[in-house]
Amino acid sequence: MLIFSKYLFIGKSFNALTIWPFIILRDKELKLDRVVINHEKIHLKQQVELLWIFYFIWYLAEFSINLFRYRDIMKSYYHIGFEKEAYANEFDPDYLKKRKFWGFLKYYK
């Protein structure tokens, strides 16, 4: 389910946000961006697999640990396992068809 909102995004770093069952995009043209949509669909899948709430707990915990470790917001974000999986596979339109359950785990090795 796609929602559009300019006001949710502060700064220019992020264009999309996924909170199951919604993908929130900064502007309407982004819905045509297959890479962005694929990236966000990977997050939808991760959220469902972790029963939603555990995804956000895990995401925030990992982000906090990374922030402590790297002292850099963007670096901390890119080092979250869920983001590593999404960035590594966003260009593959068939990724979600072949992905294994809890596929993000392999990005923690």
Binding site for Zn ion (CB under 5 A): 83, 86
Decide whether 13 or 98 has the Cβ nearer to Zn ion.
13
Decide whether 62 or 83 has the Cβ nearer to Zn ion.
83
Decide whether 70 or 88 has the Cβ nearer to Zn ion.
88
What is the nearest approach in angstroms of Zn ion to the Cβ of residue 100?
19
Separation of alpha carbons 14 and 37, rounded Å: 13
* C-alpha to C-alpha distances, 106 to 14, 32, 81, 100, 103, nearest whole angstrom: 25, 29, 9, 10, 6
What is the nearest approach in angstroms of Zn ion to the Cβ of residue 43?
6
